[in-house]
Amino acid sequence: MRRLLLTGFEPFQQLAANSSGDVAQFLDQKEIGGYRIVGRVLPVVFEEAGSLMERWMEEVTPAAVLSLGLAAGRCEITPERFALNWQEGPDSSGSACPGRKIEPEGDAAYYTTLPLQRIVERMKGYGLPASISNTAGVYVCNYIFYQTLHRLHRREETLPAGFIHLPAGHTLLLKTEGLAYPSWPEGDLIRGVSLAIEAMGAG
Ligand code: PCA
């Protein structure tokens, strides 16, 4: 069966949970939309996450790649349109990245190869608020998103590949004091990501 590499992230900064890593872990080994899911969790550290991603791409040889990240504060599930050639901000290793290109010779941006409109319509059709976002920021989420698309571009591979930012799950608010973010039941986040994968497989 075709494999889909599904990644999420570990908790980072002051946030005691990360819905993206939890969803990736939950869906590991499940069968969705004609794909066998290979779910993995990345650290929020630029280079370390980048090399793990490279290694998993080699090991898994996926037919599709979907990376997830937490965008605490967003109200909806937001598939991302552009990956930018820029990285900035202190990551979980404690080292500050003042801002630089991810790939000095790479394109300024890549378009996702996910069917964004179909994904959003499918989620909304099942009653889950969703909309396309134009930017995944310049932090580790965008870094992984850009790196994946750059690798596919370099190797002239055409796979459905992209990134979806998730709102906070209830667990994050239960575990972290004093956060004023909208939050979703984890079951709805899992449902939303499963619907996106189905839409990717519908080809
Ligand atoms: N969100 C961060 C990094 C890890 C995560 O889940 C981001 O949006 O870049």
Verdict on whether the full-model pTM lies above 0.95:
yes
What pLDDT, on a 0 to 100 scale, did the predictor assign at position 54? 97
pLDDT band at 97 (very low <50, low <70, confident <90, very high): confident
Helix residue ranges per DSSP H, 61-139: 116-125
Phi and psi at residue 26, to the nearest 5°: -60, -40
User: Which of the following is catalytic: 76, 150, 165, 186?
Assistant: 165
- The angle formed by the CA atoms of residues 138, 7 and 64, to the nearest 5 degrees, is 100
Mean pLDDT score, 169-193: 96
Q: What is the pLDDT of residues 10-28, one digit of tens each?
A: 999 999 999 999 999 999 9
- Ligand 1 probe mutation, 22, 70, 82, 193, most atoms within 8 A of CB: 70
What pLDDT, on a 0 to 100 scale, did the predictor assign at position 95? 85
Is residue 139 within 8 A of residue 190, CB to CB? The reply is no
What pLDDT, on a 0 to 100 scale, did the predictor assign at position 99? 95
Q: Is 29 a residue whose pLDDT tops 70?
A: yes
